[in-house]
Amino acid sequence: MKPIYNITLMLLMSILLSACEKIIELKIPNNEVKYVIEGTITNEPGVCSVLISKTKNFNADNTFSGVSGANVKIENNGAVVTLQETIPGVYKTSAINGTPGQTYHMTATIDGQVFTAASTMPAPIPFLDFYMKPADFDSLRTIAYVKYKDSAATKNFYWFELFVNDQRQANYSVTNNDFTTGQTVNASVVFENTTKDRSKDIKRGDKLGVEMHSIDPSVYLYLFSLNGAKGTGNGSPANPISNITGGALGFFSAHTTQRKSLIIK
């Protein structure tokens, strides 16, 4: 049984905006302010959004401050869609949804600066099951398992987002098929309360959920490199490897989504 490499977002903050959207906020210790862009388009109708904020000083609070007034566009095969700003810093459209095999280009123009990124949506991989064993329940750290059928035809990259009672968790998992090409994989994912708030401990009756995303190599590299964002020996955090050009932090991902959930008994 192959464990998935588990990464905790040490420098990323998750806040809930309507449908539990995740907002990235990176803190830069040297007072250098950068734009942070997180864009996603999936194979589900109406799921295309770009979130824009700015970095903060390392000792600043974690409040999300969206950047308004940006011009954000998604292009595919010559068709261009402009996203509308729904609340400050959050840009959305329901006029486009992704198709596996297609490449999507994002352009964000902010105060005259242009940031671009491209991502190709992989084909979905069969998500077969999501389950847990009674012995693996613990209020602080519960282990569950995802089962999927890898494809031998392609190099595959996976991103598993975790939810407790429909609330997105700060930790997630990424993996690839370096050692599981063409196999049926049973891999562990870890749900845990990483805060000091004991009211957030996992308990029987809670709903655990997982979203399985098939992602492209550049997005995998970004998510994997977040593990290195903890910082160097002198305390200065290293930025994840972004697929956005122009100097912004963050990433743009065209990925497929599949969901499963269970109730802890």
Domain co-membership, 228 together with 164: no
Structure confidence at residue 228 (pLDDT): 59
CB-based contact 146:129 (threshold 8 Å): yes
For 191, the token pair is 């749900």
Domain co-membership, 230 together with 116: yes
Phi then psi dihedrals of residue 181, to 5 deg:
-55, 120
User: Which residues are 189's β-sheet partners?
Assistant: 144
Domain co-membership, 60 together with 186: no
CB-based contact 146:189 (threshold 8 Å): yes
Domain co-membership, 116 together with 181: no
User: Which residues are 163's β-sheet partners?
Assistant: 168, 209
Domain with residue 155: its CATH number is 2.60.40.10
Write the pLDDT tens digit of every residue in 31-74: 578 999 999 999 999 889 999 999 875 445 556 689 999 999 99
Domain co-membership, 203 together with 224: no
Domain co-membership, 230 together with 102: yes
CA-to-CA distance for 8 and 194, rounded, in angstroms? 9
The answer to whether residue 5 is domain-embedded is no
Question: What Rg, from alpha-carbon coordinates, does the chain have?
Answer: 18
Structure confidence at residue 23 (pLDDT): 44
Domain co-membership, 56 together with 146: no
For 182, the token pair is 């063409």
Domain range for 154:
124-216+259-263
Domain co-membership, 25 together with 135: no
Q: What pTM does this model have?
A: 0.84
Domain co-membership, 90 together with 196: no
CA-to-CA distance for 249 and 242, rounded, in angstroms? 6
Q: Is residue 9 scored above 50 in pLDDT?
A: no
